[in-house]
Amino acid sequence: MSTMDKIKELISLMNANDLSEIEIQEDTLRIKVKKTNGGFQPAFLPSVPSGSLPAPVGSVQHPLLKKDNLKEITSPMVGTFYRAATPGAEPHVGVGDVLDPDTVVCVIEAMKIINEIKAEVTGKVVEVLVEDGMPVEFGQPLFRVQPTVSGG
C-alpha cells in the first residue's frame, strides 16, 4: 500500500469515527493526520525522536506587534484546553481583554479534573493560540499578552 493510500485510509477512518487526530507508525514511517478548520493536515514525522519541540502550529504573528515585547501564558500541564468552564458558556477571556495576575484565562481538563489557569501577568490579550477542545502539552503557549507598564 502506498503512503498516499495509507493517508486516504486514515482520513476515511477519521471521518467514520468522528476523530480529530490519528497517528500510525510502521517501521521507519510515522504518519500523523490532524483535522483542522481548514481540513486535513497530514504530517510525516521521523520515527526517531529529535529531542526538540516543534514550533506552535497555526500561530500567525500580527505585523504591528513586536514579538519580543509580548508575554506568553503557557500550559502548566498536559490536557485538553477549554476557553470556558462549561460548554456553551462565554470564554473566560478573549482578544482585547485586560488581565491581572489572578484572572482565570482558561481551564485545562487533565485526568477528568478541571484545572483553572490564571494569567500570572498584567496586560492585554493580543492572541489566542489554541482552539477550544484541543489537546495541549506542558509548556505550550496558550495566549500572547501585551504587558502593561505601571506608571510611577
Tell which wins on pLDDT, 73 or 22: 73
Please report whether residue 53 resides in a domain.
no
% of the chain at pLDDT higher than 90:
44
Same domain, 31 and 96: no
Among 25-29, 75-79, 97-101, the minimum mean pLDDT is found in 25-29
Q: Is the pTM of this model over 0.85?
A: no
The whole-angstrom separation of Cα 34 and Cα 41 is 5
Please report whether residue 40 resides in a domain.
yes
Same domain, 71 and 117: yes
Please report whether residue 18 resides in a domain.
yes
pLDDT tier for residue 55 given thresholds of 50, 70 and 90: very low
Question: Could you tell me which residues are beta bridge partners of residue 141?
Answer: 74
Could you read off the pLDDT of 113-126 as tens digits, one per residue? 889 999 999 999 99
Domain with 7 in it = 3-46
Same domain, 32 and 102: no
Which residues have CB under 8 Å from 87's CB, separation 6+? none
Number of domains in the chain: 2
